[in-house]
């Protein structure tokens, strides 16, 4: 298999690597059965996928610091056995970039398929280049240019993109940024935004964060977010937040539907996380949703306990009601560890719909998994799921996964 071969090459190459080099790699094999509906009929398909991720870092090259090569990709077939005639052999490259810093880490360059983050870039995969310059005392600027990477599902994100961010990084937790992003789509400007972002920790108990993206094409707010986190004691965390989005601005201006969409969605709410004991975690949040066409509610609660056996058990509740429909969800889950290398887990999930979907008002699904490290660096997971849902009166799936991970740290220890 090509992927395993690549890993073998890495293993062999490892011997030639200099001290100060770190190699992290993993190979994951998925195989399973699952229902697939094509042309109005349900068939059983057996998807098979192989995923490989590799990261190679070196700090031993004299003029380049933190040299890094990262590659992640997968290949597979999406319907062998049941769809011999229509099986699609496919694959994709998620990441493939080289990164390095020069001038005492004042300039960092990244070239290749990468993720761009920060400010109005949000999380954008691009084929291109990014540069970051640390100017003075936390002040820096970054810029990127490239083509938005179009993955297998053809998520259209435009033809080309350019952007940048000016930032002041006071500490690991406090940073302020001003950013710009423009996307060309079908030969027109599909998106042009200015952004302000901030995270400020005035006191260890308080964290304030905010983000605003201003659409220059529409002269209105595309997205805004304010959040306050307060941790009066180590076991309690309280947060409050407000978020505004303009759903229509998440559709490219190159789509005819962008002229019809709702222009406002507001959400305000808060959460409380409380850890009364080391082994007990609780969490609850509630949010009120307001849109042009009406209001709604989104809330959830969760309690989990890490028992000494050791095992974990927990329960979750969720209620989501919007003008068109809603549901109330309950879920139980548990993990039992028999040895450090072997554990089983299971969950049971059921929800009740406000208005029936496909003539059915509830859905129940359950899963059980066994995870086992059968050799050093090798993990096998076998999972079975069953359920009765609005779209399947009965369904059963089996999924097997084998993961091989290795890591070499040739670093000096302190």
Partner 1 sequence: MRRRPLWSWHVGGGMLLAVACATLTLKGDQGSGRDRIGFSHQRHANAKIECITCHEDVYDAKTLEAVQLPKEKKCLECHKEQKEKGNCSFCHSDVQFAGPFPKRSQGLQMSHASHIERIGEDCNRCHLKLPEPGQNDDLIPPMAVCTNCHQHQTEYAAGSCGGCHLDLSRFPLRPISDFSHQADFLRSHMRPAHSNPESCYQCHEQNFCQDCHSSSLPVRLELRLPERVDRAFVHRGDYLGRHSIEARADEAMCRRCHGTSFCDGCHMRENLTPAASNPRNPHPDGWNLPGSRNFHGDAARRDINSCAACHDQGANSNCVSCHRVGGIGGNPHPPGWTSHHPHSEIGHNSMCVFCHM
Restricting to residues 104-163, which ones interact with partner 1 according to CB under 8 A?
114-115, 117-119, 122-123, 151-157
Residue placing its CB nearer to partner 1 in the complex, 33 or 160: 33
One of 14, 83, 169, 410 touching partner 1 (CB under 8 A): 169
Query: Can residue 342 be called a binding residue for partner 1 (CB under 8 A)?
Result: yes
393 C-beta neighbours (distance < 10 Å), count: 9
One of 3, 23, 27, 28 touching partner 1 (CB under 8 A): 28
Site for partner 1 in 56-85 (CB under 8 A): 70, 72, 74, 76, 78
Instruction: State in angstroms the smallest separation of the CB of 339 from partner 1.
Output: 5
One of 60, 92, 159, 266 touching partner 1 (CB under 8 A): 92
Nearest C-alpha neighbor of 292 from the set 344, 248, 346, 232: 248
Number of shown-chain residues binding partner 1 (CB under 8 A): 169
Query: Which x/- pattern, by CB under 8 A, does the window 251-290 give for partner 1?
Result: x-xxxxxxxxxxx-x-x---x-x-x-----x-x-x---x-
One of 353, 405, 406, 408 touching partner 1 (CB under 8 A): 353
Residue placing its CB nearer to partner 1 in the complex, 12 or 412: 412
Question: Residue 335: CB partners within 8 Å, gap ≥ 6?
Answer: 311, 312, 313, 343, 344, 345
Site for partner 1 in 213-242 (CB under 8 A): 218-220, 223, 225, 227, 231, 234-235, 237, 239, 241
DSSP 267-323: EEEEEEEEEEETTEEEEEEEEEEEETTEEEEEEEEEEEEEETTTEEEEEEEEEEE-S
Query: Can residue 314 be called a binding residue for partner 1 (CB under 8 A)?
Result: yes
One of 61, 188, 240, 307 touching partner 1 (CB under 8 A): 188
Question: Residue 341: CB partners within 8 Å, gap ≥ 6?
Answer: 372, 373, 374
Torsion angles phi and psi, residue 390, rounded to 5? -60, -25
Residue placing its CB nearer to partner 1 in the complex, 143 or 247: 247
Residue placing its CB nearer to partner 1 in the complex, 14 or 410: 410
Residue placing its CB nearer to partner 1 in the complex, 4 or 279: 279
């Amino acid at each position: 298999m090509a992927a395993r071969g690549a890993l073998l090459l890495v293993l062999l190459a490892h011997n030639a690597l200099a001290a100060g080099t770190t190699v992290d790699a993993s190979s994951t094999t998925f195989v399973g059965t699952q229902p697939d509906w094509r042309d109005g009929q349900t068939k059983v398909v057996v998807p098979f996928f192989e995923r490989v991720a590799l990261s190679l870092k070196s700090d031993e090259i004299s003029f380049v610091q933190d040299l890094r090569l990262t590659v992640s990709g997968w290949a597979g077939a999406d319907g062998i056995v049941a769809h011999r005639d229509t099986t699609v052999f496919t694959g994709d490259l998620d990441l493939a970039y080289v990164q390095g810093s020069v001038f005492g880490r004042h300039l960092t360059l990244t070239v290749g398929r990468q993720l761009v983050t920060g400010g109005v870039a949000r999380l954008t995969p691009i084929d291109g280049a990014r540069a970051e310059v640390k100017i003075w005392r936390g002040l820096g600027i970054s810029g990127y240019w490239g083509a938005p990477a179009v993955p297998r599902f053809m998520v259209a994100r435009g033809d080309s993109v350019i952007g940048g961010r000016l930032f002041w990084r006071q500490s690991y937790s406090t940073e302020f940024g001003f950013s710009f992003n423009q996307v060309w789509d079908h030969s027109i400007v599909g998106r042009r935004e200015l952004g302000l972002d901030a995270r400020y920790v005035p006191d260890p108990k308080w964290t304030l964060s905010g983000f605003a993206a201003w659409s220059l094409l529409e002269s209105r707010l595309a997205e805004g977010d304010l959040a306050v986190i307060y941790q009066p004691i180590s076991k309690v965390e309280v947060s409050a937040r407000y978020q505004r989005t303009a759903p229509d601005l998440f559709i490219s201006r190159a789509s005819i539907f962008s002229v019809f969409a709702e222009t406002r969605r507001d959400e305000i709410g808060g959460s409380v996380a409380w850890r009364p004991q080391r082994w007990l975690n609780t969490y609850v949040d509630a949010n009120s949703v307001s849109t042009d066409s009406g209001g709604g509610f989104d809330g959830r609660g969760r309690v989990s306990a890490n028992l000494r056996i050791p095992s974990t058990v927990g329960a979750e509740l969720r209620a989501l009601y919007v003008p068109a429909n809603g549901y109330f969800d309950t879920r139980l889950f548990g993990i039992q560890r028999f040895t450090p290398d072997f554990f089983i887990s299971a969950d049971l999930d059921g929800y009740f719909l406000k208005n029936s979907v496909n003539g059915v008002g509830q859905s129940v699904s359950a899963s059980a998994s066994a995870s086992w490290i059968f050799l050093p660096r090798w993990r096998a997971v076998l999972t079975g799921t069953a359920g009765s849902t609005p779209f399947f009166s009965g369904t059963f799936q089996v999924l097997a996964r084998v993961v091989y991970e290795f890591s070499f740290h040739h670093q000096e220890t302190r």
